[in-house]
Amino acid sequence: MAWQPAPPLVQSRRVGAKVRHQHVAGLGSIPLPPSPAGRIEFWTKLHQRLAALHNRIDAAAAGKIMASVHARIPMPTPADQRAVQLDNARADADFWERLHDMHAENIEGQKGLAAKHQRDIAEGETAVAAAAARAAAARDKLVRMEKGEDVPAIGKPLTFKDAVAAIGGIKHARRAMRVAEIDRLGGSAELLAEIRKRSEAAEKAAVREVLKRRRRGGASP
């Protein structure tokens, strides 16, 4: 990046028959091409530098210095300041709108997790209730048979595979019952927090991976 330096502040004094020049201070520089925002920042700092040198230069000298700098780096006009303010306002509005959208999406995601959690609990409770009802009925039938009562034939005994199939498969059954047990033990909030933590970690990993792939021009796998 090219930079435009301001003319340095130099004081001249005569030593015998010769004129000596002494460097007093640098007055900064600005990236090229100078933007309105860059010129505003430069001139703000220039005024601060000149104010710090008030014991070495008077108001007249400061005016000459600013005129010399203005020839290289024009002072920002009211129109420049207005344009920068508008750009800053647009950037500020864009930032807060993006932040709003990000939080809104996060809330929707958390609602989805909470809803899924509640569905899992409901399914687990349904499975537990159904199993409890069947167990009570089976135990009642056994007691009646042991007493010699005539009860309807049971048919072939249920296998473990039959029982698992009746409640949606072994993985579904185990997961639903574990979630229901967590809820019974008062750990629902802890479960949601753990799910959220793992979801955020997975999202960060996905963002890093996709960004890395895009930067090197790779396509989706």
Reported as a single tens digit per residue, the pLDDT across 59-105 is 888 888 889 889 888 999 999 999 999 998 998 998 889 888 888 88
Which range has the top average pLDDT, 90-94, 107-111, 142-146, 177-181?
A: 90-94
Q: Quote the pTM value.
A: 0.48
> Where would I find the beta strands (DSSP E) of 26-151?
29-31
Q: Read off the pLDDT band of 44 (50, 70, 90).
A: very high
Write down the pLDDT at residue 85. Answer: 92
| The predicted structure's pLDDT at residue 176 | 73
Alpha-carbon gap, residue 76 to 39, rounded angstroms: 6
* Cβ atoms of 11 and 21 closer than 8 Å: yes
The answer for residues whose C-beta is within 8 angstroms of residue 123's C-beta and 6 or more apart is: 168, 172, 176
- With residue 166 as reference, give the H or E element that holds it: helix 160-166
59 by DSSP, 3-state: which? helix
Quickly state the pLDDT bin for 167 (edges 50, 70, 90): low
pLDDT, residue 153, reads 67
What pLDDT, on the 0 to 100 scale, is given for residue 58? 83
Looking at residue 78, its pLDDT comes to: 92
Lowest mean pLDDT, pick from 29-33, 98-102, 136-140, 150-154: 150-154
Find where tokens 């009802």 sit. Answer: 133
Q: Which of 46-55, 69-78, 151-160, 209-218 has the weakest average pLDDT?
A: 151-160
Pick from 98, 88, 42: nearest CA to 69: 42
Q: Tell me how far apart the alpha carbons of residues 73 and 26 are, in angstroms, rounded to a whole number.
A: 14
Average pLDDT, the chain: 80
Task: Report the chain's C-alpha Rg in angstroms.
Answer: 39
| CA distance linking residue 17 with residue 14, whole number of Å | 7
Instruction: Tell me what the mean pLDDT of segment 203-221 comes to.
Output: 77
150-166 burial by CB neighbour count: b if 16+ within 10 A, else e? eeeeeeeeeeeeeeeee
Dihedrals phi, psi of 51, to nearest 5 degrees: -65, -35
Tokens of 4: 């435009």
